[in-house]
Amino acid sequence: MSKKYALHPRSNGFPVRRNTAAHIRAADSARALQNWNKAALYYREALALEPHLYHLWIQLGHMEKEAGAIERATAAYEEAARLKINNVEPLLHLGHMAKAWWQPNDAAAYFIKALLRDPGNLQALSELARLMPDRGADASPSFWEDAFTVFDLDPTAAEKSNFSLAAPHAILFDVTDLFAFFGQRRLPTGIQRVQIEISLALVDEPTDIQPIFCLYSGARRGWIALPHDEFQALCHLAKQSDDVTDPAWVRQLEGLYRTVAVSPTIQLSTLAVLINLGTSWADRNYLLDVRNARDRKAMIYIPLVFDLIPLIGPDWFMQSLVRDYRTWFGSMLHSVDGCLAISQATRQDLIEQSAMWDAPIAADAVSVVSLNGDFKQSSAGVDVLQQYGLKPGNYVLMVSTLEPRKNHIGAFSAWLKLVERLGEAAVPHLVCVGGRGWLNDGLHQMLRDNPQLNQMVKILHGVPDDRLATLYEHCLFSLYPSFYEGWGLPVSEALSYGKVPAVSAVSSLPEAGGAYASYFNPHDADDIAATVLTLLDRKVLATTEAAIEHSYAPQTWLQIAQNLVAKAQLIKPRRQDDLMGIDGPGTWLMSLPREINDGMLLGEAMRHGDGWLVPTNSGCRINGKGAALWFSWSGSPDGQAEIHVASMPSPAHIKVELNGLSQETFWEPDTPIAISLPLPDSAGPVHINLIPITGELMVEKIVVTQNPISC
């Protein structure tokens, strides 16, 4: 009998009623289609029948969060936490959500609760280390007591200077993304691999560059320096294994977390160069604090841009990631002094997209740092192949995360065509190495539906560097049918081992593969199969391998790191030309966008000053005097800026300053208002200071209007 009509249905291993199972199936189907509201509705109906099902409360929390219903998501996760008082999973979700949608202190409290349940939880330790405020900050005595308990620290260890000074023009590398990665995983891939190789190149080998490796802290509203020796040891350990329970790994990681928790905040001096080696959209005030530092002329900010794929191919990602990426990108365009791109293709994408967003980045402010590095590592030996059921030369290697953009389905379709043409005995295995990824139900279903294909394909997760080296050394060639890339690290990996890469002829991949790769159309399974068939000719393969051995010369990672720093140091600071431009009527949201909407105008980049808290679904709150709205005004006549303030539970009194003029406004509880200000008749920068005198202020949106000229 099919699972659909099972007499004794189960969910996540637990027996459930048939009506409950029907609701769960409907929810799962809606989730697969990313219809979060519908999925949440069905999960709620299932839970109304059987409210004890812990795992469904977790799923409901996920669906509500994806739909932007943060209060309902919180309630779902908290119910899950109540049902299983020893389980940390719902508290971790609550902590991450609080960090993204509320305030660092709320997030820290959830991670502390998780650690009180599970003191060795590395993910919670990683997050809490960055959320710890400076000693003496406004936090309750119980917070400090619990925090030092979970870090196993002497409270006096934090009683040191709150700041460490960075010298003028210092070079800082932001590795926050890598630090967060280590809280959940060990073995690096993709962006994390690049960060590790660049970092190790600068600390393992003698060089004139003296970088400061640092982490962004939303609680500190600044950056924390990492000790070189501890960070260096952790990066070396990360490459050795995927075992996150290894005592040496855990010991090194926990030691670094304790160090970060009590380390002082970096005090930036004149024009320090901050190069972000990873991503930064997880912290919603990150770019605001970048702008604040740049406003003080304390920083030149330069991100390393890997790709713009969530803008170019949003259907390959979860909707929430695309929404967050779009918000980050629009803010980034007004927060950078320049960018480093990892390929000419990514550079061109950045220039074109910035123009489309009406915030063009000058071509001379975007330099390319190619990632054609030497990825060759010491191998584990050929005997490893036996553990995977492989023999030298009987497989093609595909290294990539299992996600839609990497096009495993295209590869599988090509393999079916090869089997049909040559017979199974003549077709090599396809070995897929990579993380588990997301939105990959289709490829697993394809394997289940094709037993013959299932025999030909091997999927391997968590393969450490030495074993991956063995797989590269003994494969026939590599396959990379991705639909879009920022560079294509597996292509450079294959070439480093002298192997021919068969790759898509799209985006940056021809830059990575050069004259040594064989190219195909990733949308055409017949073309993929034809390219593979050509390389199965041993003479053709040997000719290209000889060319790689004779003339392919990858860069060392030290050369890449030195090139990156040299190009970053050439970027000059931008000033007024990076402000958001407004030349007529429009509405700019100060809240987080709920949907992916190309026409949506976001006011995030207008925010300046330390008084802003993180944006939420309702708007962005202000705490203290240091909050302002900055933009560039075209000087159109009769312009008005309306600042829409949400209703708050208590009376409030606000002072607003613009160009030396000020006005004060009072309002009663639960009464939204709009504060209207005349904009200057002349073009130039506009700075509006928002000063709460009493009560709280939540800015919802900024509306610019133009009154018709009266006769």
pLDDT at 202 over 70: yes
Q: Identify whether residues 539 and 615 lie together within a single domain.
A: no
Confidence band of 160 (pLDDT split at 50, 70, 90):
low
Q: Indicate whether 102 belongs to any domain.
A: yes
- Helix 70-83 × helix 89-101 angle, to 10°: 160
Percent over 70 (pLDDT), the chain: 95
Q: Identify whether residues 297 and 357 lie together within a single domain.
A: yes
Q: Average pLDDT in the 371-396 region? A: 91
Q: Indicate whether 571 belongs to any domain.
A: no
Q: Identify whether residues 363 and 498 lie together within a single domain.
A: no
CA dist., res. 144 & res. 154, Å (int): 11
Q: Identify whether residues 358 and 482 lie together within a single domain.
A: no
- Lowest mean pLDDT across 89-98, 178-187, 497-506, 658-667: 658-667
Q: Indicate whether 177 belongs to any domain.
A: yes
Q: Identify whether residues 241 and 343 lie together within a single domain.
A: yes
Confidence band of 316 (pLDDT split at 50, 70, 90):
confident
Q: Average pLDDT in the 196-209 region? A: 90
Mean residue pLDDT of the chain comes to: 89
In sequence order, what are the beta bridge partners of 431? 397, 458
Q: Indicate whether 199 belongs to any domain.
A: yes
pLDDT at site 240 = 85
Q: Identify whether residues 507 and 650 lie together within a single domain.
A: no
CATH of the domain at 697: 2.60.120.260
Which among 153, 155, 161 is positioned nearest to 139, based on CA atoms?
155
Q: Indicate whether 472 belongs to any domain.
A: yes
Q: Identify whether residues 213 and 278 lie together within a single domain.
A: yes
Q: Identify whether residues 121 and 243 lie together within a single domain.
A: no
Confidence band of 7 (pLDDT split at 50, 70, 90):
low
Q: Provide the 3-class DSSP secondary structure of residue 447.
A: helix
Q: Indicate whether 479 belongs to any domain.
A: yes
Q: Identify whether residues 247 and 358 lie together within a single domain.
A: yes
348-360 pLDDT, tens per residue?
A: 999 999 999 989 9
pLDDT at site 504 = 97
Higher pLDDT, 575 or 521: 521
CA distances (Å), 649 to each of 611, 625, 670, 675, 697, in order? 20, 20, 6, 18, 10
Confidence band of 156 (pLDDT split at 50, 70, 90):
low
Higher pLDDT, 692 or 540: 540
Confidence band of 708 (pLDDT split at 50, 70, 90):
low
- Dihedral (C-alpha) 22, 25, 31, 32: value to the nearest 10 degrees? -150
Helix (H) or strand (E) holding 504: strand 501-504
> How many domains does the chain contain in total?
4
pLDDT at 434 over 50: yes
User: Strand 607-608 vs strand 627-633: parallel, antiparallel, or unpaired?
Assistant: antiparallel
pLDDT at site 256 = 93
pLDDT at 456 over 90: no
Q: Confirm if 320 and 438 have CB atoms less than 8 A apart.
A: no
Q: What residue numbers bound the domain in which 432 lies? A: 384-554
pLDDT at 3 over 50: no
Confidence band of 599 (pLDDT split at 50, 70, 90):
low
Q: Average pLDDT in the 598-607 region? A: 81
Q: Identify whether residues 590 and 547 lie together within a single domain.
A: no
137-147 pLDDT, tens per residue?
A: 666 778 888 88
Q: Average pLDDT in the 463-489 region? A: 94
> Tokens 């979060």, residue?
36
384-406 pLDDT, tens per residue?
A: 999 999 999 999 999 998 888 99
Mark which of 320, 341, 368 sits at the end of a domain: 368
Q: Average pLDDT in the 76-93 region? A: 94
Q: Confirm if 157 and 261 have CB atoms less than 8 A apart.
A: no
Higher pLDDT, 308 or 208: 308
Percent over 90 (pLDDT), the chain: 57
pLDDT at site 284 = 86
Q: Identify whether residues 418 and 547 lie together within a single domain.
A: yes
CATH of the domain at 68: 1.25.40.10
* Dihedral sign, Cα of residue 124, residue 222, residue 303, residue 687: positive
Q: Confirm if 252 and 150 have CB atoms less than 8 A apart.
A: no
CA distances (Å), 97 to each of 66, 103, 310, 325, in order? 11, 10, 21, 16
pLDDT at site 148 = 80
Which among 290, 281, 289, 286 is positioned nearest to 308, based on CA atoms?
281
CA distances (Å), 135 to each of 130, 160, 264, in order? 13, 8, 9
pLDDT at 189 over 50: yes
pLDDT at site 62 = 93
Q: Indicate whether 149 belongs to any domain.
A: no
pLDDT at site 710 = 44
Determine the Cα angle at 294 with ends 292 and 299, to 5°: 125
CATH of the domain at 335: 3.40.50
pLDDT at site 576 = 65
Helices (H), 246-374: 247-262, 286-295, 309-312, 319-332, 344-356
Q: Average pLDDT in the 103-108 region? A: 83
pLDDT at site 323 = 83
546-575 pLDDT, tens per residue?
A: 999 999 999 999 999 999 999 999 999 987
CA dist., res. 425 & res. 398, Å (int): 20
CA dist., res. 391 & res. 701, Å (int): 62
Q: Average pLDDT in the 269-294 region? A: 90
CATH of the domain at 460: 3.40.50.2000
Q: Average pLDDT in the 242-250 region? A: 91
Residue 101 has which token pair?
């949608």
Q: Indicate whether 152 belongs to any domain.
A: no
Residue 93 has which token pair?
């979700």
Q: Identify whether residues 536 and 586 lie together within a single domain.
A: no
23-67 pLDDT, tens per residue?
A: 999 999 999 888 999 999 999 999 999 999 999 999 999 999 888
SS3 letters across 516-552: HCEEECCCCHHHHHHHHHHHCCHHHHHHHHHHHHHHC
pLDDT at 122 over 80: yes
